[in-house]
Structure formats: C-alpha cells, structure tokens
C-alpha cells in the first residue's frame, strides 16, 4: 500500500489546468441542464485535489470520487437548515498514472471529462434523479447513464485532445448487457 505522502500530486502548473477544467465543466454542465447562476450548486459542492484530502477521501483506482457530507448554514442550530454538501475528491495519483500510461491523453481534456462527469452526478443527486445511497447494480447503471450524458455534453466541444478522451471512455457507453460480449 502506497502511503499518502508517496502518491504523486499535481504540480502548480497542473493545478492551474485543473482550475481551468473546473471552470469549463461548471459552464458546460450548467448549460446542459439549463441552470442559471442562481440555480447552480456553487455552495453545494467543492473540488479538491490530493493535497487537500483527508486519508478516508483517498482511494486507489478511480480518478475521482464524490463524498457526501451534511452542511449547515452558519449560526443555525436547526436540523431543518441541513443540506447535502458534495466533495469531488480528485485522485491526482490515478489521473497522473493514466496520463503517463496513455500518451494520447492530455490533462485539460481528461480533467474536463472527469469533472464534468462528477458534476453530472451531483446535479442528478441534487435534483433527486438518482439516489446517492443506491445499490451496487443501480450505481453501475447510473455510471453508464452519467458517461452517456458526459459524452453528450463534451462531444460538440472543440478542445484539442478531447477526442482521445471520449474514445478512452467509449466502453462506458456500451449497454450493460453487452459488456461481457466479445
């Protein structure tokens, strides 16, 4: 098991690219769902990288995970003021490994896909389209739906390097029943 300190992290230049991807993803997802700035979920989620994560927010394998926390307005003791707060935990080490092993991928379009994908999940949770606490089968089906939506959002985007990223995720757009077929 690799310790927290041994996992590779984004550099300062890479963090600037991640910030650019977050800004682009927010705009693309809000446009897709036709959400105005007042409807957007700015206070309901945050995006963090490895250096900002706690030990339980770090995983090996996925490029990101969403953790749901309970938020509450400052100064309020009422349970009725509680709300869901989502944290997108980017896994720098997994993203950097993928970039190093798939030379056709580049950071901006890859991060854009990952962040769009996670934002689509959050919109679907927040609008009660999908239950956060779903069964394993429901989560797998939801992953396929969210990859299809992410593809729909990103396919018309003109960004150098987006095509290899879309191709990288093509298998997730295959119907579930066909996944085992040769």
Distances (CA, A) of 104 to 13, 15, 25, 50, 134: 20, 20, 21, 24, 34
pLDDT over 60 (residue 4): no
pLDDT over 80 (residue 18): yes
Cβ neighbours of residue 145 closer than 8 Å, sequence gap 6 or more = 130
Give pTM, 2 decimals. Answer: 0.87
pLDDT tens across 24-67, in order?
999 999 999 998 766 776 668 999 999 999 999 999 989 999 99
Place of tokens 């600037």: 16
Strand order in the sheet with 82-90: 45-48, 82-90, 64-72
pLDDT tens across 82-117, in order?
788 899 999 999 999 999 999 999 999 999 999 999
Backbone torsion region of residue 169, taken as left when φ is above 0, otherwise alpha when ψ lies between -120 and 50, otherwise beta: alpha
Interatomic CA distance for residues 117 and 114, integer angstroms: 5
**Selection from 90, 98, 128, 91 nearest residue 2 by Cα:** 91
């Amino acid at each position: 098991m690799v310790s927290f300190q041994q996992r590779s992290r984004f550099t300062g230049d890479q963090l600037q690219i991640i910030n650019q991807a977050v800004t682009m993803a927010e705009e693309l997802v809000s446009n897709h769902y036709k959400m105005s700035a007042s409807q957007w979920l700015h206070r309901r989620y945050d995006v963090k990288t490895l250096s900002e994560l706690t030990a339980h927010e770090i995983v090996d394998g996925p490029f990101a995970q969403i953790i749901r926390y309970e938020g509450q307005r400052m100064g309020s003791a009422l349970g009725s003021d509680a709300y869901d707060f989502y944290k997108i935990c980017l896994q720098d080490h997994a993203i950097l490994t993928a970039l190093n092993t798939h030379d056709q991928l580049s950071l901006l379009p890859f991060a854009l896909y990952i962040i769009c994908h996670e934002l689509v999940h959050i919109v679907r949770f927040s609008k009660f389209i999908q239950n956060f606490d779903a069964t394993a089968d429901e989560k797998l089906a939801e992953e396929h739906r969210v990859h299809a939506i992410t593809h729909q959002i990103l396919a018309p985007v003109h960004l150098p390097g987006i095509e290899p990223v879309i191709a990288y995720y093509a298998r997730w757009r295959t119907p579930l029943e066909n996944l085992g077929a040769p």
